[in-house]
Amino acid sequence: MSLFNELKRRNVFKVGIAYIVVAWLAAQVLQLIFESFGTPDWVMKTVLVLMAAGLLFALFFAWAFEMTPEGLKREHEVDRTQSITPQTGKKLNHLIFAVMALAIVYLAYDKLVLSASRDAALIEATTQAVTEQAAAETSAAAPTAMADPSTVEPDRSIAVLPFADMSPNKDQEYFSDGLSEELLNLLARVPELKVAARTSSFSLKGKEMQIAEVGEILKVAHVLEGSVRTAGNRVRITAQLIHAEDGYHLWSETYDRTLDDVFAIQDEIAATVVAQLKVTLLGEAPQVQETDPAAYALFLQARHLGRQLTAEGSTQSTELYQQALAIDPNYAAAWAGLAENYGNQASAGILPFEEGYAMAREAAEKSLTLDPSYAPAYATLGYVADSLMDLPAAAEYYQRGLALEPANLDMLRKASLLLSSLGHSEQSLALLEYVNARDPVSPGSHYSLGMAYLRMGRWDEAIASFETALRLSPDMIGARNLIGTALLLKGEPEAALAAVEQEEFEAYRLLGLVNVYHALGRTELSDAALNEAIDKNEQEWAYNIAYVLAYRNEADRAFEWLDKAVEYKDPGLSDIVGQLEFANIHDDPRWLPFLESIGRSPAQLGAIEFEVALPQ
């Protein structure tokens, strides 16, 4: 007998059909029950897998066993003349027909009753969703109407883009940029708002981008943009608040006023933005400090030039700040700007360290005498104290400044450096990650984050941060050398050499080559790079020369250069706790006494209380 006929004789086909029909009907009923009780999806999936496995068992059972009048027997034990498989086959036919009839009844019930109920529920849910979307779009499309308080509250995040200079000669960029920044600073003082940092917002200046792209890059839900046009004593300021996702204008206004009214305009714009975003202020609304319009214009020019970080720009900036203060000696913001300028000049070597920092401290204290709540002045005082190795004073200044403006990104970034100097690497990293999330297009933010990762031995994350900084600012000083440092400490000296060789800033390139050539066993090249670095940068880079000597295991020379760094008052000494290249001399008996001599021993650092909470 053929296999097909034998399968047919033993009712294997009928058993399979009966099993499938019964299993299908059972699955439909179980699905309905499970949905009613909210049973997890995995339960139904498990049942289906078991049913599929049961089919194989049923087919095997039909082939191997037979039902006889005496009960279940193995098929080979049954006399063919006594077999009742034809009667069993007829019973299976009746079972199949009965189950199929039940299936038809179930399908009719599902189509006429259950399906109609589901469709009604779906229509109701869809109608509700469409209604809510239409209401939201209608609210967003009305530029002058206040938002309905019954609607869902918006994401209270915003970026202030540089306002366009619409003056006839296009020579008022400092004024339009300055006005934009003043608005940004004003909004940033509202704790309930998340405001994208200036460096990120202004990095998009002059780029043709859709508002949705701006929102995506800066991670904000709203954008404030506008234009400024000045003519004599008249100013026209146009501002518009836009919902980033769909480009709808929430509000727009044009102000035609005199320059005397520029401060009131800024307050009015900020107040309107706060109202449009439905922010409930927990305190008084921040307001711009008013001054003489001429002093204000000089202040904006001075700040614009000071940010160029060049010797010429810095000198011109100082002169303009002094001119503004000659008009209004009580202008706290100008005193704070002058203080920051002096501090930057001291750090860059434009002014002698002690003289520059003393002038910075004096100007910042004058600013706080006039306005004790002006937080940026505390940031400068903290930076000066940190640079002069007075860590307790730096901690106190940052603490007071952050109490006034807990979300001030510049102060948080500086506070993170102090935390790193105190050995609090995890806290420092948490602050920098917070800053980076709110300043995502700032090369400096990614650079600082890379430094934090580097000091914690997280090489790959450090390299990724430095590479991001370079994509945003291809000429960034030192980033390629630091990538080389991370690769070197990771144990990849050949890759480190390739990175360091691309460093354009000569001093950093030479210092990087000293270490890389040493790791590669190229002693003559390492010596040559070290000698060249000493010849060209002895006084300015004493601290850096000390750590490359430590990396080369030249302890005596490393301590000799550390002493020179103290003599030259090298600000780099503030980084000594986190400088990984000094690891080779940590066990030297001279190491701890040296740290104590500069106030950086573990006990001295541990005695300094400095805690910074992440803003909510």
Query: Quick check: 185 pLDDT over 90?
Result: no
Please tell me what DSSP assigns to residue 110: I
Q: How many residues does the chain have?
A: 616
List the single range of 248-257, 275-284, 475-484 with lowest mean pLDDT: 275-284
Confidence check: pLDDT of 439 > 90:
no
Categorize the per-residue pLDDT at 163 as very low, low, confident or very high, splitting at 50, 70 and 90. confident
Q: Which structure tokens are listed for 255? A: 């102000």
pLDDT of residue 19: 78
Residue 152 CA, chain-centre distance (Å), reads 25
| Cβ count within 10 A of residue 165 | 18
Has this prediction a pTM greater than 0.85? Answer: no
d(CA 241, CA 143): 9
The answer for 170, left when phi > 0, alpha when psi is -120 to 50, beta otherwise, is left
Judge whether residue 56 has pLDDT over 90.
no
Is the separation of the CB atoms in 240 and 226 below 8 Å? yes
CATH number of 157-288: 3.40.50.10070
**Does 135 have pLDDT greater than 50?**
no
Angle of helix 493-500 versus helix 479-490 axis, rounded to 10: 170
The enclosing H or E element of 365 equals: helix 353-370
Closest CA to 490 of 461, 513, 511, 527: 461
Angle, helices 409-421/443-455, rounded to nearest 10 degrees: 20
pLDDT recorded at residue 113:
54
- Name the least confident of 1-5, 258-262, 275-279, 495-499: 1-5
Q: Enter the tokens of residue 126.
A: 């869809």
Higher-confidence residue of 23 and 333: namely 333
pLDDT tens across 567-611, in order?
A: 988 878 888 988 999 999 999 999 999 999 999 999 999 999 898
Q: Which residues pair with 74 in a beta bridge?
A: 65
For residues 261 and 213, which has the higher predicted lDDT (pLDDT)? 213
Share of the chain above pLDDT 70, in %: 82
Whether 75 and 63 have beta carbons less than 8 Å apart is answered as yes
State how far the Cα of 208 lies from the Cα of 58, in Å rounded to an integer.
Answer: 69
Rounded-to-integer distance, Cα 605 and Cα 593, Å: 14
Q: Is the pLDDT of residue 530 over 80?
A: yes
pLDDT at 342: 92
pLDDT of 133 over the 60 cut: no
Residue 169 tokens, joined: 């000669």
Band (480; pLDDT cuts 50, 70, 90) = very high
Q: Which two tokens stand for residue 543?
A: 């601290």
- Distance (Å) of CA 361 to CA 209, 261, 395: 42, 32, 15
- 3-state SS class at 86: helix
pLDDT score at 144: 35
Within the chain, all domains assigned CATH 3.40.50.10070 are found at 157-288
Cα dist from 402 to 319, 376, 425, 557, whole Å: 30, 10, 19, 41
Residues 102-111: tens digit of each pLDDT: 767 766 665 5
Q: Which residues contact 376 (CB under 8 A, 6 or more apart)?
A: 333, 336, 340, 401, 408, 410, 411
Q: Distance between CA 328 and CA 370 in Å, rounded?
A: 12
Instruction: Select from 293, 316, 235 the least CA-distant residue to 269.
Output: 235
Contact 217, 437 (CB under 8 A): no
- Please report the pLDDT score of residue 194 as a whole number: 84
Q: What is the DSSP string of 111-177?
A: IIIIHHHHHHHHHHHHHHHHHHHHHHHHHHH-TTSPPPTTSPPPP-EEEEPPPEE-STTS--HHHHH
pLDDT of residue 324: 94
- Exposure string of 529-568, with b = 16+ CB inside 10 Å and e = fewer, is bbeebbeebeeebbbbbbbbbbbbebbeebbebbebbbeb
Looking up tokens 């009839």 gives: 101
Mean pLDDT score, 154-179: 80
Higher model confidence: residue 464 or residue 55?
A: 464
- C-alpha torsion sign, points 43, 45, 46, 51: positive
Range from 48-62, 199-213, 410-424, 583-597 that averages highest in pLDDT: 583-597
What percent of the chain is modeled with pLDDT above 90? 35
* pLDDT reported for residue 98: 76
Q: How high is the mean pLDDT of the chain?
A: 82
Rounded (10°) CA dihedral 109, 112, 113, 114: 80
Q: What is the pLDDT of residues 331-383, one digit of tens each?
A: 999 999 999 999 888 876 778 878 999 999 999 999 999 999 999 999 999 99
CB 558 within 8 A of CB 543: no
Kindly tell me if the per-residue pLDDT of 134 is higher than 60. Answer: no
What letter represents residue 15's amino acid?
V
